[in-house]
Amino acid sequence: MANGSGKAGSNMVLGVLLGAALVGLGVLGYFYYQHTHRDVVRIDVPGFSGTISKDDKGIDIDVGPK
């Protein structure tokens, strides 16, 4: 019986560590998605180029001559 109780404690610690790692990856993934996810329209017409993008802060228009 002593051997079984030691394994149960070890498995529980391993489970908690694995759960914490998964939560950490989820949080990092959320911040990465928020930082990089933007709707972007690229403008490429003769004489002009640029982008129009939208994120949480508003709309950003960057158009100019080539």
pLDDT value at residue 28:
92
pLDDT value at residue 53:
83
Where are the domains positioned within the chain?
Answer: 2-65
pLDDT value at residue 38:
66
Cβ neighbors of 21 (< 8 A, separation 6 or more) are: none
pLDDT value at residue 59:
84
The model's pTM:
0.49
pLDDT tens per residue across all 66 residues of the chain: 455 566 777 888 999 999 999 999 999 988 887 777 666 788 888 888 998 888 777 888 888 887
pLDDT value at residue 5:
60
